[in-house]
A and B are shown apart, each in its own frame.
Chain A
Amino acid sequence: MPRYRIRYSKEGAAKFISHLDMLRTFERVVRRAGIPVSFSQGFNPHPRFSFGFPLSVGVSGLEEYVDIDLDTAVSPEEVAQALDRAMPPGMKVTGARPVEEGSPSLMASTERSAYVIRAYSRCSPATGAGSLKGCLEGLLESQEINVMRRKKDGRDIPFNIRPGLLHLSAREEEGAVVLEMDLITSSSFNVRPQEVVAAITGRCGDFGQDSHLDITRSRVLGHGGKDLF
């Protein structure tokens, strides 16, 4: 069964489509696209999709991936074009490539993600990038950066995100503070960009209660930063 890795972006209104709703969205996309997608066997057959690490609601994604099984081989260019034409507004297909048989799943291949966060504030910039830079350097020197995580039983316990923070930088752009970070986002260990912002807010000054964070996941990468595409 030929498998294809689809690279797509998800921005604008589409960034509010939840991970749960993405399965339904893609089911409809493939039906509109008319490509020969393979269905699971059983009482209630579903197309065979395999998504990568979930994107939070409200976060844009520039290079997201999904693996799709087809019944018959079609040229990757054709698959990409047909899917792109069928995408809902805000989503674009930027590529498709065949996946060799026996390759690990997308989820197992994913190790890290790059995020860009623009912080807009009415009293902008809330925390100037200049002073922020020094503080971030200090932050990266610490062995432990604890944030609170809620456990299943409702208790909040400290969790050290430092091992999952691979890169962190700040600059200023058009009145916004822009943070760039590479985070571990694998099934065994993951750090959320909002947690990094919370850690920065705690140590390097306030972004301000009214600040609005525009979060984009710009890339999703494999082990050691390997391209997934």
Chain B
Amino acid sequence: MTLAADQGYGVQLERLLARVQKPARYAGGELNSVVKDWEQTAVKMAFSFPDVYEVGMSHLGLQILYHTVNSRDDALMERCFAPWGDMEIQLRGSGLPLLSIESKRPLGQFDIVAFTLQYEMSFTNILNMLDLAGIPLRSADRGDGFPLIIAGGPCAFNPEPLAEFIDLFAIGEGEELVHDIIDAYKAGRGRGREGLLKELAGIQGVYIPEFYRVLYNEDGTIQSVSPCVEGAPEKVRKRAVANFDQSPFPERPIVPNTGVVHDRIMLEVLRGCTRGCRFCQAGAIYRPVREKSPETLIDQAERLVKNTGYDEISLTSLSSADYTGIDRVARELLDRMGGSGVGVSLPSLRVDAFSVDLAREIQRVRRSSLTFAPEAGTQRLRDVINKGVTGENLLEAVSAAFSSGWHAVKLYFMIGLPTETMEDIRGIAGLAEEVLKKGLEAGAKKGRLKVTVSASSFVPKSHTPFQWEPQNTIGELREKQIFLKSLIRDKRISYKWHEPEVSILEGVFARGDRRLSTVLERAFKLGCRFDGWSECFDYRKWLEAFSDTGIDPGWYAHRRYGYDDILPWDHIEAGIERKFLVREHKRAMEARPTPDCRGGKCPACGVCDGLGINPEISGGAVIAPIQDKVL
């Protein structure tokens, strides 16, 4: 019995699957996957994830859009993932194009190929997937016979480095936007590529880069970005879903046949985050905060368990402990489902004793360690980044953890943050030692007591108060890492760091402009793939790509951008006002925190007014966005 008996590609694929390491990545046939009648369905979309199956299948956004599109009678969505190196060799060797998972059809046969942009370091995989599908990389080289290539996700908020390759960017949340795009596609598909794009350009949240002209100043900065086609808006404003409680949620998610990164039910309890950490792009672009009602969550959880058979429900969001009444919902879920061996888990913990108590009470299967993210080593720097966490909070949290029986604690920090000095680095080591001391005081078992310090490198991101900040150089980051390592002497504290080269590239593309397209294409041609995977990342190839194209990565990464500069992403609006970002940046420089708007004080970020969507807090807390009562 072959994978897709009705046509030739499945048979050919099967021959290749005998020669690759993990064939389940490409075989499909998972529970709840949807295979529709190809001929009878008007609009065919391929959700293309530019990373391996195990990563892509752990992404809730895929499941939500898959469900949303396949709920329509006139549209279908299939999946495609980046083939791992062994599969790429087989595909190129046999001449077989990249196929969708469901019906094993080449990507080129779809009407719309939709990429998700979760991480800058997956960009070369997008080019590789297009190339493996036999689709020209650049929009300008694609005529009427090729699919519409679209992209969305967090990195679409600075779409410019991909502007030459992608026909249309979908900015913001996709639940409603994808319907608008499909409707407009149906209306405009007979009018040729140009006519179709014009039809789509009128939708809120749609950005069609070829309809915009970018002019540069002599010093290389941007002079202007302006629409050059009628109907394309000056500014593209993101989409956000109102009435989040009732927004479509997949109650029959695909259940992979092989182990994936997040192999459990992902129950989204809330979207957005009001904490306002100044480095965090997710906190900025997913505003306003919207919670689901406890009734909806419990109802969805019960259906999900029945339809998937999973034994774990992860209450996911950017900060689940912030969900109003999280303990009540978690307890009720355990009461209802604990008897059938179903557990509840929290993906991340807030740095406080409440979160630890909650974790202790609900987590049936004990993780061996608890993870906290104080992000910075001194109170001054935590105030700069507006982390809203004190050293006391952390010590209380770890004390609670150690006295509840955990003996390993992981601490996440960032180095290279704005205004950072070696004192702040010293503070990281100091905190780690205090945490260790708490462990000894609580009587954590000798030999098992362990504190892990993990330090990543700060990457300035668009639409955040730190978008103007220069990134540390590789030399500076390395110096800080070595210094921190020298301070950590206790064998019970282990230290992990990230390669600074990857962070710098991430920073280049996170704030890059259209001219980076040539670098990206060159890097792909030189063989760069899976740049987020340390075993695949090849910095020398990237340096070669920059040198070949005459582009200086340092100019993008290490320059301080001016408040008055036109930034490459200024025409993409997340709803947060520029004056708020400037104000927040200035407060950061003075180490002045800004309180969470859940507390009732509106810091006037501009999102609620700008988008016309209010925060949705279950239990009725209201954040009145009163503009004249700022702080």
Contact = CB atoms under 8 A, between A and B. Distances in A.
A and B are partners in one complex rather than unrelated chains: yes
Contacts of A88: 29-31, 255, 257
B365 interface: yes
A227 B268 CA distance: 49
A99 to B, nearest CB: 23
B23 interface: yes
Nearest to A22: B257
A57 interface: yes
A16 B24 contact: yes
A13 B3 contact: yes
A18 B309 contact: no
A90 B29 contact: yes
Contacts of A29: 309
A24 B340 CA distance: 16
B149 interface: no
A214 B15 CA distance: 9
Given A28-B309, A212-B14, A11 B257 contact: no
A154 interface: no
B95 interface: no
A222 to B, nearest CB: 26
Considering residues A13, A21, A44, A60, which has the most beta carbons from chain B within 10 angstroms of its beta carbon? A13
Interface in B204-229: none
A86 B309 contact: yes
A39 interface: yes
How many interface residues does chain A have, given as a range? 20 to 34
B306 interface: yes
B341 A45 contact: yes
B180 interface: no
B241 interface: no
A27 B264 CA distance: 13
A25 B257 contact: yes
A213 B3 contact: no
Contact of A16 (B1, B17, B342): B17
Interface string B1-25: 1110000000000110110000110
A31 B311 contact: yes
A28 B255 CA distance: 9
B35 to A, nearest CB: 9
A26 B259 CA distance: 13
A45 to B, nearest CB: 6
B302 to A, nearest CB: 13
B29 A13 contact: yes
B305 interface: yes
A13 B340 contact: no
A163 interface: no
B259 A12 contact: no
A149 to B, nearest CB: 20
Given A16-B17, A32-B309, A58-B17, A24 B1 contact: no
B89 to A, nearest CB: 16
Contact of A21 (B17, B258, B305, B342): B258
Interface string A58-73: 1010000000000000
A58 B341 CA distance: 32
Nearest to B101: A13
Contacts of B33: 89
Interface in B294-342: 305-311, 340-342
Contact of B306 (A27, A32, A44, A214): A32
Contacts of A11: 1
B202 interface: no
B23 A58 contact: yes
B309 A57 contact: no
A27 B311 contact: yes
Nearest to A32: B309
Interface string A1-36: 000000000011110111001001101111110000
Contacts of B18: 58, 212-213
Interface in B7-65: 14-15, 17-18, 23-24, 27-31, 33
Nearest to A20: B259
Contacts of A86: 309
A45 B305 CA distance: 18
Contacts of B2: 12, 214
Nearest to B14: A212
Given A16-B24, A31-B309, A212-B18, A89 B31 contact: yes
B309 A13 contact: no
Contacts of B257: 13-14, 16-17, 21, 25, 88
A58 B14 CA distance: 9
Contacts of A60: 1
B308 to A, nearest CB: 7
A17 B341 CA distance: 24
Contact of A32 (B14, B27, B308, B366): B308
B305 A31 contact: yes
Given A16-B24, A18-B258, A28 B308 contact: yes
A49 to B, nearest CB: 14
Interface string A106-144: 000000000000000000000000000000000000000
Contact of A44 (B15, B23, B340, B365): B365
A39 B338 CA distance: 13
Given A28-B309, A32-B306, A16 B23 contact: yes
A89 B308 CA distance: 13
Contacts of B366: 43
Nearest to A25: B257
A28 B258 CA distance: 12
Nearest to B23: A16
A90 B4 CA distance: 12
A86 B32 CA distance: 11
A17 B24 contact: yes
A27 B341 CA distance: 11
Contacts of A43: 366
A89 B340 CA distance: 24
A12 B29 contact: yes
A60 B17 CA distance: 14
Nearest to A86: B309
A104 B258 CA distance: 30
A153 B23 CA distance: 27
Contacts of A28: 31, 255, 308-311
A89 B30 CA distance: 7
Contact of B341 (A24, A39, A57, A212): A39
A44 to B, nearest CB: 6
B305 to A, nearest CB: 7
Nearest to B29: A13
A31 B340 contact: yes
Contacts of A89: 29-31, 33
A31 to B, nearest CB: 4
A225 to B, nearest CB: 26
A57 B17 CA distance: 10
Contacts of B14: 212
A25 B259 CA distance: 10
Contact of B24 (A18, A27, A39, A212): A18
Interface of A: 11-14, 16-18, 21, 24-25, 27-32, 39, 43-45, 57-58, 60, 86, 88-90, 212-214
Given A11-B1, A17-B258, A58-B18, 15 more contacts: A12-B3, A14-B29, A16-B24, A17-B257, A27-B311, A28-B309, A28-B310, A30-B309, A31-B305, A31-B310, A39-B341, A45-B341, A58-B17, A86-B309, A89-B30
16 contacts: A12-B1, A12-B3, A13-B30, A17-B257, A17-B258, A21-B24, A25-B257, A27-B309, A29-B309, A30-B309, A31-B310, A31-B340, A88-B29, A212-B14, A213-B18, A214-B2
**Closest CB pairs A-B (n = 5):** A13-B29, A28-B309, A31-B309, A32-B309, A16-B27
